[in-house]
Amino acid sequence: MDSSDFEGRILDAAAMRAERDRLHAEGKKLVFTNGCFDILHAGHVTYLQFARAQGDALCIGLNSDESVRRAKGPSRPVVAQEHRAKLLACLRFVDYVVVFDEDEPRDLIARILPDVLVKGRDWAHYVSGRDVVEAAGGRVALADMVPGLSTTAIVRRILETSGTDAKSAQK
């Protein structure tokens, strides 16, 4: 992977806030979503395309390796955060990637203050940072998920076909 494909797109929270301010000065809207994005698949691509369509630029809050382990178990992530960040940053509809170590992205969302917060409809009962975004005048958009496409389901299928215990795929 050529570094020019993702160079300048993987930022820390402070740099992302500066980008958000620059976008606002140009009258543009920033969209934010987050996740583990371990083993990138077509369901992720569909979801991220939906997210990008909600505004002018898309920032992905990417769970760090430690954050993924706490959420998914010791066997995850399958792909290291550095590589997940690079893959995401190379997608043409992804403008920025910010890695975060917390269990939830609420603090990152509060620092960045996106105009639109996107989550999968399966998270409709709880969207971390919803209160922050809505208090700042932004909105939440819920994306439909692609049935049968999830990293966990893919990992389980791989383990089952290899004869490994599918329970080790965790959540």
pLDDT higher than 90, residue 114: yes
Count of domains in the chain?
1
Give the domain range for residue 137. Answer: 3-169
Average pLDDT over residues 13-28: 98
Residues in the chain: 171
Query: Looking at residue 126, which CATH number applies to its domain?
Result: 3.40.50.620
**For residue 31, how many C-alpha atoms fall within 13 Å in the half-sphere facing its CB?**
22
Q: Sort strands 30-35 and 116-120 into parallel, antiparallel or unpaired.
A: parallel
Q: Determine if the peptide bond prior to 77 is cis (ω within 30°).
A: yes
Distance CA 170, CA 82 (A): 22
pLDDT higher than 50, residue 74: yes
Band of pLDDT at residue 167, cut at 50, 70 and 90: low
Band of pLDDT at residue 142, cut at 50, 70 and 90: very high
